Amino acid sequence: MGGAARTGGVTLSLAGRTALVTGAASGIGRATALMFAQAGAAVAVNHLAREAEALALVEQIAALGGRAVAIDADVTRTPAVASLVAAAQSALGPIDVLVNCAGIIQDKPFLETSDDDWRRMIDTDLGSVFLMCRAVLPGMVARGEGVVINVASDLALLGRAEFAPYCAAKAGVIGLTRALAREFAPAIRVNAIAPGPVETAMLSPLHMSPEWIARDKAIPQARFAAPEEIAATALFLASDHARFYCGQVLGPNGGSVMP
């Protein structure tokens, strides 16, 4: 593999680095893992009970001349996270870049939201970020360098009716990102991405009503993003071109949020 990817006319290289991407069997995580591998990184592809998809991605990366390994782990559980990090490092070496992509979404009126609904969302979309960062950051601190990229959402900034747990969890990701950025700078760069609507299974008609899909497309760009458009933002943040980014929230959102 050539060891570099071109994004917007700029060559971005992750040659010689190891990345761990959670939720990498599909969607943004898959696109990020593939793009990182194309840029020269060795990639640990985390998934949860999606072995066929994860192995297909690993085989695709290998066919391109890259290195990757698929690791099944529930990133909401502390022992599983510890095993995931240990397996990734054993197979590929110390983790230089952590991308927290694992997440779920649910639309339900707030007054119908159960305790289990709330806990599942917070554990998956926010708790996993906490657990993964706590497991990976010690190695980065010991080496004096590293990059953490957390995937939030434009809804963390906008809010949305019937998405209260999701909005709360993703807002928590942004708060955690900024706190960690201040605590671990300058050696370790911690940033977040807050995408707008993305063409993934979570926003397919299987999971979202036609009314919600129409509303999500009612943004200035009038479409969903491709997962690769979000992955390109992650690649930039992981690269040396983003050395001065610290605690930032980048918004490839099609104009849904205009601060």
Catalytic residues: 166
* Residues sharing a CB contact under 8 Å with residue 216, sequence separation 6 or more, in sequence order: 196, 197, 203, 208, 224
74: which DSSP letter?
-
Spatial CA neighbour of 100 closest among 14, 169, 38:
169
Token pair listed for 163: 């998405």
Token pair listed for 46: 């985390």
Token pair listed for 232: 């390109």
Question: Omega into 186 within 30° of 0, i.e. cis?
Answer: yes
Length of the chain: 259
SS3 14: coil
Q: Alpha helices, DSSP H only, in 26-77?
A: 27-38, 51-63
Spatial CA neighbour of 17 closest among 190, 147, 180, 181:
147
